[in-house]
Chain A
Amino acid sequence: GAGVSQSPSNKVTEKGKDVELRCDPISGHTALYWYRQSLGQGLEFLIYFQGNSAPDKSGLPSDRFSAERTGGSVSTLTIQRTQQEDSAVYLCASSPGTSGPGRFFGPGTRLTVL
């Protein structure tokens, strides 16, 4: 498809387990963002990749969270030792560059930590 895709769409895990969330951005988009949205809340910035530059990790809530972007394309967000407060929808977005509004969001991964 032409849009941003994310997998899995839903993930239920037990507290303490590690999870990996995947994002496939739109082909050719150099910028990739991860956000999370808790129930009824706005979007919270997590991390931002732009080309080959060092990622902006300023939004990651703890060192249990990490993300990689391989080959300037696919990104994986990893949450180690999940906690119940990690339950949220994790949204990935990509854009052609760093300026302008053109952030296209994926459908998100709904993470539930039991």
Chain B
Amino acid sequence: RKEVEQDPGPFNVPEGATVAFNCTYSNSASQSFFWYRQDCRKEPKLLMSVYSSGNEDGRFTAQLNRASQYISLLIRDSKLSDSATYLCVVNIRAAGNKLTFGGGTRVLVKP
């Protein structure tokens, strides 16, 4: 079983709609969680950290469920520019701060 699992998608989303997807992690010692965004043939860029209480950044909302070991990302009012691959990332400090990446969820926003 992969340490961090994501639905690869693609999620085809009409412009203006809401899309949400999850990521599950297997190591209960995971301590920090992030969403990165990766555009085609580009490097990953930090989108947002995920806090226990949940957090929002504009149209993006991230949630963490430690009991069920998953995090989620919700995008409201999708824009064409939101089309990208969203990488779920987990940090286990005891494992030396190596970020473990999921395989990514591809989102395609269409007009």
* Contact stretch, chosen from B14-22, B76-84, B96-104: B96-104
In the complex, A71 has a CB within 8 A of chain B: no
In the complex, A51 has a CB within 8 A of chain B: no
Instruction: Establish whether residues B101 and A42, one from each chain, have CB atoms under 8 Å apart when the complex forms.
Output: yes
Residues of the A chain whose Cβ atoms lie less than 8 Å from the Cβ of B89: 101
Residues of the A chain whose Cβ atoms lie less than 8 Å from the Cβ of B93: 99
Tell me the nearest residue of chain A to B32, going by C-beta: A101
Q: Given A41-B103, A42-B104, A43-B87, check contact A105 B44 (CB 8 Å).
A: yes
In the complex, A48 has a CB within 8 A of chain B: yes
Instruction: Establish whether residues B98 and A59, one from each chain, have CB atoms under 8 Å apart when the complex forms.
Output: yes
Chain A contributes a number of interface residues (CB within 8 A of B) equal to 24
In the complex, B1 has a CB within 8 A of chain A: no
Residues of the B chain whose Cβ atoms lie less than 8 Å from the Cβ of A41: 103
Q: Which of B23-76 contact A (CB under 8 A)?
A: 32, 34, 42-46, 49
Residues of the A chain whose Cβ atoms lie less than 8 Å from the Cβ of B4: 42
B86–chain A nearest beta-carbon distance, Å: 11
In the complex, A56 has a CB within 8 A of chain B: yes
Residues of the B chain whose Cβ atoms lie less than 8 Å from the Cβ of A31: 97
B41–chain A nearest beta-carbon distance, Å: 8
Tell me the nearest residue of chain A to B4, going by C-beta: A42
Instruction: Establish whether residues B43 and A99, one from each chain, have CB atoms under 8 Å apart when the complex forms.
Output: no
In the complex, A108 has a CB within 8 A of chain B: yes
Chain B positions within 8 Å of A, measured between CB atoms, are: 4, 32, 34, 42-46, 49, 87, 89, 91, 93, 96-104
Closest 8 CB pairs of A and B: A105-B43, A42-B103, A43-B101, A42-B101, A45-B98, A101-B34, A98-B97, A56-B96
27 A/B residue pairs, CB under 8 Å, sorted by A: A31-B97, A33-B98, A35-B101, A41-B103, A42-B101, A42-B104, A43-B87, A43-B101, A45-B98, A45-B99, A50-B97, A56-B96, A56-B98, A58-B96, A58-B98, A59-B98, A99-B97, A100-B32, A101-B34, A101-B46, A101-B49, A101-B91, A102-B46, A105-B45, A107-B42, A107-B43, A108-B43
